[in-house]
Chain A
């Protein structure tokens, strides 16, 4: 009998242990995020969430292409539960049927988001979590930038860098140059040709904002378009950098949260998204100058606001390039860019 009891107890303990292991595994959420500011994100978002949910976050980082490729490659059995990505990349994944619809009733802060962030793709498959303005950073002691067209002016020849067409900033720069050069809003072709004609006067076509910051600190470049999220790289440096307010306005973009289809971890993914979008967390992330808030209730000091894309007035003034336009035209832009600019 004693043996039987011991055996039964051991079996019960074993089952309990296996159940507890299974529970722990169930409470693991794999997220795919941009690789910048991960230490700050850990402090402001990941660690507090793990403490609250009693779960483990597995963080996968990389550029958009790498992360999208991983989601595509594992479509049948998703390894990523939730991801943050640009709105046009999200649309591309949605069109491939790789995303799940987000149950916004589970997001307590959903109504607090700016209206444009509540359903940015119009299909319920994404929620915006941050905005960014895109304008021109320049050396105010050497030059004044008042228009996007100044980037191609003789005064700045040989001292300007432009973002490569393949990055997020490339199409935004094309859109604003298009406006500055009075071209047809729907056709970037003449603008790409204009850049091609000035290609010898452009120092380089950068792919990462860190690359641009290095070139500007080395005084190779004195003006270049860049996203506001990179502005902190230019502050507190020995050079007087300024953020342009061009006559054509600033471009803007939004990064969104998405959930992969049939990942089996939807509940925890929604919990995490809800936490990230909350006023508390969005304020913490804004104060750490990581990302600009999409939550309208977030309040920050003027000093912090200066580093971010903050406030309804600014956000509503941004010129947004619709994600569907980027998806529809990107291949043609890249093709023409390679033929007339890079070559």
Chain B
């Protein structure tokens, strides 16, 4: 093969530059900036998680997980993250299947509606839930109006409120990922399966799911890690009664001045995000 036929970026050979060092020199300011104002401070902050009484230790983690409150916050974060990812996958598949089967104009309009919330601030989107879920909100007005309850029921500052807020926040990411995956699905496979006698459940589990799992992994990773690391939504809809790791981290820094616990939480969040990504990638690349 003639290497000259490949783009320069792929060959690694200098094309625009006299030599490799010139190219690297151009990247140096950005790399230095990132190193000094992001990587270094983060590394220093995270290293706190492994320091105890002046020496390297895992004591910070032992202390963190020995607190019942921290345990419940950890498992709540994991549970809500997984639930949001799972629910968004179910809703996302239905929505994506519908979108890819629409004709051009309607498809564009519906897809635009899916993307629209991403252009609105998460703060504004979360505050909308206060209007919806509040004591005088639409849901409670309906419940009381229909006679299902004599008084408004408590919806805000519950796990349900945080779940709904996170689902609404991250569902578009799942739908976009699944639409992208389904667009690459061969057009004839579903009709062929149906002709051969497969019911819709079999079509989904044996055709759609295996062929779109890269999209599912991408969407799942974005939704799960997004739900783990979201701050605004759990803070507004959950408050101090439904603490999640991110809101607990904020409390540790800004209320307790406890940077060791904060760096332990930050490290746990990073490990959880990377683990989820690795796990889902493994599922995606597993032999079919």
Asked whether B117 is an interface residue with its Cβ less than 8 Å from the other chain, the reply is no
Q: Which of A289-334 contact B (CB under 8 A)?
A: 334
Q: Determine the chain A residues whose CB is within 8 A of the CB of B254 once the complex forms.
A: 63, 65-66
Asked if B255 and A342 make an inter-chain contact with CB atoms under 8 angstroms apart, the answer reads no
Q: How far is the CA of A158 from the CA of B134 in the complex (A)?
A: 12
Q: How far is the CA of A342 from the CA of B69 in the complex (A)?
A: 8
Residue of B nearest to A66 (CB): B254
Contact with B along A66-101 (1 / 0, CB 8 A): 101100000000000000000000000000000000
28 contacts between A and B (CB under 8 A): A63-B255, A65-B254, A65-B255, A65-B256, A65-B257, A68-B257, A164-B240, A166-B255, A166-B256, A167-B255, A199-B241, A204-B241, A205-B239, A205-B240, A206-B240, A207-B240, A218-B130, A218-B134, A218-B135, A218-B136, A219-B134, A219-B135, A219-B136, A334-B256, A338-B67, A338-B69, A342-B243, A343-B72
Asked whether A42 is an interface residue with its Cβ less than 8 Å from the other chain, the reply is no
Interface of B is mostly: loop
Q: How far is the CA of A219 from the CA of B152 in the complex (A)?
A: 11
Contact with A along B222-259 (1 / 0, CB 8 A): 00000000000000000111010000000100111100
Which residue from B68, B69, B154, B251 sits with its C-beta under 8 Å from A203? B154
Asked whether B163 is an interface residue with its Cβ less than 8 Å from the other chain, the reply is no
Q: Which of A202-259 contact B (CB under 8 A)?
A: 202-207, 218-220
Which residue from B130, B156, B257 sits with its C-beta under 8 Å from A69? B257
Q: Determine the chain B residues whose CB is within 8 A of the CB of A218 once the complex forms.
A: 130, 134-136
Knowing A65-B256, A204-B157, say if A220 contacts B135 (CB, 8 Å).
yes
Q: Determine the chain B residues whose CB is within 8 A of the CB of A342 once the complex forms.
A: 69, 240-241, 243
Residue among A66, A203, A207, A343 with the highest chain B CB neighbour number at 10 A: A343
Q: What size tier do the contact residues of chain A reach? A: 20 to 34
Residue of A nearest to B255 (CB): A166
Measured CB to CB, the closest approach of chain A to B82, in angstroms, equals 21
Q: Which residues of A contact B (CB under 8 A)?
A: 63, 65-66, 68-69, 158, 164, 166-167, 199, 202-207, 218-220, 334, 338-339, 342-343
Knowing A65-B257, A166-B256, say if A220 contacts B67 (CB, 8 Å).
no
Contact with A along B126-167 (1 / 0, CB 8 A): 000010001110000000000000000010110000000000
Residue of B nearest to A205 (CB): B240
Q: Determine the chain A residues whose CB is within 8 A of the CB of B240 once the complex forms.
A: 164, 204-207, 342
Q: How far is the CA of A196 from the CA of B208 in the complex (A)?
A: 49
Asked if A220 and B156 make an inter-chain contact with CB atoms under 8 angstroms apart, the answer reads yes
Interface of A is mostly: mixed
Q: How far is the CA of A241 from the CA of B67 in the complex (A)?
A: 40
Asked if B255 and A207 make an inter-chain contact with CB atoms under 8 angstroms apart, the answer reads yes
Q: How far is the CA of A158 from the CA of B140 in the complex (A)?
A: 14
Measured CB to CB, the closest approach of chain B to A77, in angstroms, equals 20
Q: How far is the CA of A343 from the CA of B239 in the complex (A)?
A: 13
Q: Determine the chain A residues whose CB is within 8 A of the CB of B257 once the complex forms.
A: 65, 68-69
Q: Determine the chain A residues whose CB is within 8 A of the CB of B241 once the complex forms.
A: 199, 202, 204-205, 342
Residue of A nearest to B152 (CB): A158
Q: Determine the chain A residues whose CB is within 8 A of the CB of B67 once the complex forms.
A: 338
Asked if B135 and A343 make an inter-chain contact with CB atoms under 8 angstroms apart, the answer reads no
Q: How far is the CA of A199 from the CA of B241 in the complex (A)?
A: 9
Measured CB to CB, the closest approach of chain B to A108, in angstroms, equals 36
Which residue from B68, B243, B256 sits with its C-beta under 8 Å from A339? B68
Residue of A nearest to B151 (CB): A158
Measured CB to CB, the closest approach of chain B to A278, in angstroms, equals 34
Q: How far is the CA of A164 from the CA of B193 in the complex (A)?
A: 59
Q: How far is the CA of A206 from the CA of B68 in the complex (A)?
A: 22
Asked if A203 and B134 make an inter-chain contact with CB atoms under 8 angstroms apart, the answer reads no
Question: Closest 4 A-B residue pairs measured CB to CB?
Answer: A204-B239, A338-B69, A205-B240, A166-B255
Q: How far is the CA of A99 from the CA of B257 in the complex (A)?
A: 19
Asked if B69 and A206 make an inter-chain contact with CB atoms under 8 angstroms apart, the answer reads no
